[in-house]
Amino acid sequence: MAILLLLLYLLLRVFLQFHSLHLLPFLPPPLLCPIGHPNINHPSPPPPLSSSCHSQKWHERLMRMKFTGDQKREVKSWNGLTVPLTLLVFVVVANAMIGPRAWFGGIFNRLGNKNEKFLDNPLTPFQEQRLKKLQERLQVPFDETRPDHQEALLSLWNCAFPDVTLKGMISNQWKEMGWQGANPSTDFRGCGFISLENLLFFARTYPVSFRRLLFKQGGKRATWEYPFAVAGINVSFMLIQMLDLQSEKPKNLPGINFLKLLGEDESAFDVLYCLAFELMDAQWLAMHASYMEFNEVLKVTRTQLERELSLDDVHRIKDLPAYNLLYQ
C-alpha cells in the first residue's frame, strides 16, 4: 500500500509539473545564501556552510551523473533545470520517512492558498502576548561580556561534553562542537542569543537526540559533514524567516498556524527548532549530502516544515508528522 501511494504521489507531481503548476516544493533549487535578518541591531546572516552560491552547482552535479534505460526519463524542475526522474523519486523517498499525510496535505493546501502571503488572522490576547515575548527574544544579541550569556554557552559545552573540562571561553576545543573558530561568540552575530537558547533547549530537553546529531551517530555519514553548532544557528535563522516573525504578526499560512501552536505551548518555537534540526539531519542522510550541499538540504527542510504547518489537523506541536523524529 505504501509503495502504491508513493507511485501515485510521484505520478501526480510529475503530471502537475508538466501543467506548469510548479508544485515540486521539495526538489532542491540552486544554492542560496541566507539574506536579511529581523534583528536590526545585528543584520548579518548566520555564517553559511557553503563557500559559494553559484546557481549552476546543482545542475553541474547532475550532469556528472550517469543514467541508463528508464533512468534517462526526465522532468523539468521548477527552477528550469533538467532533472532525471530517478532523482525526483529519490527526494520523494527522503520525504517518505515523515508520512504521506504531509505529502498530500501539502499539495492541496498549496492549491488552496496561493495568496497565503496576504492572509490576515486576528490574534487572541494570549497569542499576542506570547508572540511579543518571542519577538523580544529575537532582538537580544549575543554579548560575550554578559555573565548570563557566558554561563549559557558554558552550559551548552557541559551538555555536549560532560566529562571534558573546557580550558577557556576562547579555545580550539569549541571546534569539536562545530563552531567555526576558537571563539564561538563570533558565530552568533547572525542570529543572536536565541540561537544559543535553541541549542541549549535541544540539549536539555532531548539529550539523546541532541547527542546523536552532535556526534553523527545515525545513518551513513558523509566524509565531509556539516558542523553541528553552525548548522544549528542556520536552522534558527531559517525558522525565523519561514514563520515571518520579523513582521508585526505573521501573514503567511505556516506563520499563522504556528501562532496557534504557540498559544497552546509557550515553548513551541524551541520544540519546533529541535524538530527542524532532526528533520534537516534526516534529509541530509536521505539525500547523501555533503558539506557543500547544506543549503540545498536546508531549503528542502524548510519546504517540508511549511507543508506540515499548513495541515488542517495540526493543533499542537505534537501533531506535526515529523514530531516523532525526536523520539526515534
CB atoms within 10 A of CB 11: 10
118 domain-assigned:
no
At residue 189 the predicted structure's pLDDT band, cuts being 50, 70 and 90, is confident
User: What pLDDT was estimated at residue 54?
Assistant: 34
Q: Could you give the number of structural domains in the chain?
A: 1
Q: What is residue 13's predicted lDDT score, i.e. its pLDDT? A: 57
**pLDDT score at 314:** 94
In a domain, 6, yes or no: no
Q: Is residue 237 part of a domain?
A: yes
The mean pLDDT value for 152-179 works out to: 97
pLDDT tens track for 265-297: 999 999 999 999 999 999 999 999 999 999 999
| 135, 245 Cβ separation under 8 angstroms | yes
The DSSP bridge partners found for residue 84 are 74
**118 pLDDT higher than 70:** no
Contact indicator for 26, 9 with CB cutoff of 8 Å: no
Residue 48 domain flag: no
Spatial neighbors of 19 by CB under 8 A, at least 6 apart, are none
Q: How many residues does the chain have?
A: 328
Return mean pLDDT, the chain: 77
- At 28-71, the pLDDT tens digits run 333 333 333 334 344 455 655 643 333 333 334 333 434 334 33
For 254: left if phi > 0, alpha if psi spans -120 to 50, otherwise beta; the answer is alpha
Annotate 57-111 with three-state secondary structure.
HHHHHHHCCCCCHHHHCEEECCCCCEEEHHHHHHHHHHHHCCCHHHHHHHHHHHH
* pTM of full prediction above 0.85: no
First to last CA, the chain: 23
- Are 192 and 38 in contact by the 8 Å Cβ rule? The answer is no
Rounded to whole angstroms, the Cα distance separating 316 from 320 reads: 8
Q: Return the CA Rg of the chain.
A: 20
Which residue range forms the structural domain that includes residue 238?
A: 124-327
Alpha-carbon distance 264 to 229, whole Å?
A: 29
Condensed to tens digits (0 to 9), the pLDDT of residues 216-227 reads 998 899 889 999
Question: Per-residue pLDDT tens for 218-270?
Answer: 889 988 999 999 999 999 999 999 999 999 999 899 999 999 999 999 999 99
pLDDT at residue 128, rounded to an integer: 94
Nearest to residue 206, comparing CAs of 258, 278, 121, 289?
Answer: 278
State yes or no: pLDDT of 97 exceeds 80: no
